[in-house]
A and B are shown apart, each in its own frame.
Chain A
Amino acid sequence: MSEHIVSVRVYITIFLALLVGTALTVAAAFFDFPWRLNTIVALTIAVAKATLVVLYFMHVRYSARLVWVIVASALFWMGILFAFTFSDYFTRHWLSTGY
């Protein structure tokens, strides 16, 4: 069996990192950052936490290439969903006709 077994050490490290990330995101929420940085900081921490879960808890780092392709395809289609919808909604006010 060529299956990679992730060590307990790695699991504990990731678990602690996720807890730190949660504490960070709560702390950051009470700071009044300029512009939309509050949202950007919150999303960056969330993406970092999700990446740790996907790579280590879900073993993607040690999985077959095909799994990487499948995960990437999900992100790609999510990108289409958001990009095309936003490009519609956030440009509507450019027209004087309204909606």
Chain B
Amino acid sequence: MIESHATTQEVHGHRALQHHFENMEQQREAGTIGMWVFLVTEIMFFGGMFLAYALYRNMFPAAFASASNHLDITLGAVNTGVLILSSFTMAMAVYFTQVGKQRPQIIALVLTLILGLAFLGIKAVEYHEKYTDRLIPGHLIPGASFGPAVQEHDQPMDAHKLHLLPGATLKQVEMFYWIYFAMTGMHALHMIIGAGLLIFLIIWSMKGRFDPEYHGPVEVVGLYWHFVDIVWIFLFPLLYLLGRHFEH
């Protein structure tokens, strides 16, 4: 019996094939479907926050526009580009694994990691600006509770002061920043987890673990990475761009 098992392994088996799967294709497909089920739970998780955003924006339209206009549109747009480029390099990493080119695969993964870290770096710069402008909501930071300087109409424009549109109050602006930090913070946490997963992929691909038959992990991390990209594709216009047209 042991002998016949060994023979089956030699004929059909790939070293990465788990015993509960018929073949590599079934194994990979099961992994992909499992990842998609997880992503559905992620969609619902972020969906709840998008819902909160929609409700509060509808309640406090002027405050949301004022608060949004204070965000740095250039950094936001650059970060969108960085993330889209990282999604492209991730897709290329999957491609190079599928066609069995190890070196380009490693390069694509490393580029994805670098771009992911660049995104987090730019995000950190933005967070720091919000910190110096006293826009961190509530009392999250000891000694720097929420209290931005408000731009008065008779004074020269100051980029660090909050320009309140008619009908907006500071309390409502604070609500925007709770949602802003919850959503971008959760998104950044997903990026950090994604960067961690990429480090594993890079180590494994340097050990030559993946080939055209076995690349489930690269594919699955790719799905996760693209999902995080999609969340940002919605966050960028909803958080950064919603009030720009009022400024004219």
Residues of A in contact with B (beta carbons under 8 Å apart): 1-3, 5-6, 8, 11-12, 14-15, 18-19, 22, 25-26, 29-33, 38-39, 42-43, 45-46, 49-50, 53-54, 56-59, 63-64, 66-67, 70-71, 73-74, 77-78, 81-82, 85-86, 89-90
Verify B33–A67 contact, CB threshold 8 A.
yes
Which of chain A's residues have a CB closer than 8 A to the CB of B95? 5-6, 8, 11
B174 at the interface (CB under 8 A from A): no
Beyond A53-B226, A74-B39, A81-B48, whether A1 also contacts B84 by CB under 8 A is no
B54: which of A32, A74, A82 is its contact (CB, 8 Å)?
Answer: A82
Closest CB in chain A relative to B205 CB, distance in Å: 17
Closest CB in chain A relative to B47 CB, distance in Å: 5
| A to B CB contacts below 8 Å, 29 in the list | A3-B28, A6-B95, A12-B88, A26-B73, A29-B237, A29-B242, A29-B244, A38-B245, A46-B234, A50-B234, A53-B87, A53-B230, A54-B226, A57-B226, A58-B222, A58-B223, A58-B227, A63-B32, A64-B32, A64-B33, A66-B33, A67-B32, A67-B33, A74-B43, A81-B47, A82-B47, A85-B51, A86-B54, A90-B58
**Bound complex: CA A67 to CA B219 (Å):** 14
B213 at the interface (CB under 8 A from A): yes
B152 at the interface (CB under 8 A from A): no
* Residues of chain B at interface, number, CB under 8 A: 52
Which of chain B's residues have a CB closer than 8 A to the CB of A3? 25, 28, 98
Which of chain A's residues have a CB closer than 8 A to the CB of B91? 6, 11, 56-57
**Bound complex: CA A19 to CA B81 (Å):** 7
Closest CB in chain B relative to A47 CB, distance in Å: 9
B85: which of A15, A45, A66, A70 is its contact (CB, 8 Å)?
Answer: A15
Verify A42–B39 contact, CB threshold 8 A.
no
Verify A11–B92 contact, CB threshold 8 A.
yes
B199 at the interface (CB under 8 A from A): no
**Bound complex: CA A63 to CA B30 (Å):** 12
Verify A22–B33 contact, CB threshold 8 A.
no
Q: A38-B245, A46-B233, A71-B36 are in contact. List 11 more A-B contacts (CB 8 A).
A: A1-B25, A1-B212, A29-B242, A33-B245, A42-B241, A53-B226, A58-B226, A67-B32, A67-B33, A71-B40, A82-B47
Which of chain B's residues have a CB closer than 8 A to the CB of A85? 51, 55
Verify B81–A50 contact, CB threshold 8 A.
no
B195 at the interface (CB under 8 A from A): no
B80 at the interface (CB under 8 A from A): yes
In the complex, what residue of chain A is closest to B213 when comparing beta carbons? A1
Closest CB in chain A relative to B233 CB, distance in Å: 5
Verify A78–B43 contact, CB threshold 8 A.
yes
| Interchain residue pairs A-B with the least CB separation, the first 10 | A29-B241, A42-B237, A15-B88, A74-B40, A32-B245, A29-B244, A74-B43, A70-B36, A18-B84, A50-B230
Verify A70–B37 contact, CB threshold 8 A.
yes
**Bound complex: CA A82 to CA B212 (Å):** 41
